Amino acid sequence: ETGVTQTPRHLVMGMTNKKSLKCEQHLGHNAMYWYKQSAKKPLELMFVYSLEERVENNSVPSRFSPECPNSSHLFLHLHTLQPEDSALYLCASSQGSGQYSGNTIYFGEGSWLTVV
């Protein structure tokens, strides 16, 4: 139990589907992140929310849409994905004062996404 919970753990979706990944953190942190991990590539930072405001999105395609309704919950809405979007999507959180310090970033167990 990492204090960061992701659902679903596995998701298979068609290219025309709309689905969402959910993340919840129980650590009292004020910054949350979405990362993508593909085979043979480093972890890629997709989105960061600090104090519920998005601060970085690293030019992620618009078919990925994040939502952070409060400091404990983070969603990643998925629509019209491509097969190359199949990957492990990791949610993480950290504690920062005002802005995310990133001193220690805690990960969830990930959501395995397969796009067919």
Partner 1 sequence: EDKVVQSPLSLVVHEGDTVTLNCSYEVTNFRSLLWYKQEKKAPTFLFMLTSSGIEKKSGRLSSILDKKELFSILNITATQTGDSAVYLCAVGSGGSNYKLTFGKGTLLTVNP
Q: Given the rule CB under 8 A, which residues bind partner 1?
A: 2, 4, 40-43, 45, 48, 55-56, 90, 99-110
CB of 53 to partner 1, least distance (A): 13
Q: Is 9 helix (H, G, I), strand (E, B) or coil?
A: coil
Q: Which is nearer to partner 1, 64 or 100 (CB)?
A: 100
Q: Which helix (H) or strand (E) holds 92?
A: strand 87-94
CB of 57 to partner 1, least distance (A): 11
Q: Which strand ranges, in their side-by-side order, compose the sheet holding 4-7?
A: 4-7, 18-25, 73-79, 64-70
Q: Which is nearer to partner 1, 37 or 80 (CB)?
A: 37
CB of 103 to partner 1, least distance (A): 6
CB of 115 to partner 1, least distance (A): 21
Look at residues 88, 41, 79, 87 and name the one whose alpha carbon lies nearest to residue 61.
79
CA gap 33, 107 in Å, rounded: 9
Q: Which is nearer to partner 1, 4 or 115 (CB)?
A: 4
Q: Which is nearer to partner 1, 62 or 103 (CB)?
A: 103
Q: Is 4 helix (H, G, I), strand (E, B) or coil?
A: strand
CA gap 51, 67 in Å, rounded: 12
